[in-house]
A = this chain, B = another copy of it.
């Protein structure tokens, strides 16, 4: 089917191209009657502005990109909902790119965002990302971007994060209060800011309680596919029977801990107490119910999107490259830490 141009539309309506164009842009110069007529005809003839042509003309794609590791983690699906809630009010489209925790895929996604394809980028970096060189490309092209949740600690940019260090500290404190002598922290990545901050807080609490003396390794890396994580946890709990508490830095680690304990008949919480950074709605109905540090996922996405649009709309003065918003998480005690 030959593409319908604004010219054809104007011809059909017996109006000038300028009038039709202004009407479609909801210009104040055009009467509401005319606008109604134009929109009705546009709908009837299924007129769609050519995105490339109009982008080249306006240099606005009316699209933002969200680059994040995965959507299987409930945190990210809630954050996306928060982002879309804002984008919808701005009449913007949202492109979602999944890095699947791969730096290469993340790099390609960022490259795909260059050269005017999107007006702004929201990014939560992959666990394999150790350099910000790809992010710098966004800076070089003056494409606004905001980090949410997973960021670069020493990279100056707008960020919306949660109080990871404090939560790591609180989690360890609870395990210690419940009698754990050898709690461990499961990290998904050494490079990931959320993991380093959460584990630092965890380590500090252990130190304050004098539990770092007994030479046990208390921050353990646990990465890969669900199957790989399952095997690593099997080995860990078999090798070190003294581990009596675990803080899972991300949701999927907690799920694998439960599955390993189910298989190995390890009783949660009697043999092993578990806390997870998680927004899982199923936490209360797990067996046993899971104690969580619940991040304000929707709010983090919403706030990050609002910050991005402030930049896109060039209200730069209201946001500085250093502006970091911290939205606190909530520790919710359930049966996985009882007794």
Contact = CB atoms under 8 A, between A and B. Distances in A.
A281 B70 contact: no
A51 B80 CA distance: 25
Interface string A128-141: 00000000010011
Interface string A174-188: 000000000000000
Copies of this protein chain in the complex: 2
A323 interface: no
Nearest to A335: B287
A184 to B, nearest CB: 20
Interface residues of A, number: 55
Contacts of A116: 50-52
Contact of A281 (B46, B255, B288): B255
A78 interface: yes
Given A46-B140, A51-B116, A95 B98 contact: no
A298 B105 CA distance: 19
Contacts of A112: 51, 93
A96 interface: yes
A140 B48 CA distance: 13
Given A50-B116, A140-B1, A281 B226 contact: yes
A28 B226 CA distance: 41
A51 B65 CA distance: 15
A43 to B, nearest CB: 10
Contact of A286 (B48, B109, B287): B287
Contacts of A78: 72
A100 B117 CA distance: 24
Contacts of A114: 48
A258 B285 contact: yes
A88 to B, nearest CB: 7
Contacts of A51: 112, 115-117
A270 to B, nearest CB: 16
Interface string A52-68: 11011000000000000
Given A1-B140, A77-B77, 9 more contacts: A49-B115, A52-B116, A72-B77, A72-B78, A93-B112, A255-B285, A259-B284, A282-B282, A286-B286
20 contacts: A1-B141, A3-B115, A46-B137, A49-B115, A50-B115, A52-B52, A71-B71, A72-B74, A81-B98, A81-B100, A84-B98, A258-B285, A259-B285, A262-B285, A280-B282, A282-B286, A286-B286, A287-B287, A287-B288, A287-B289
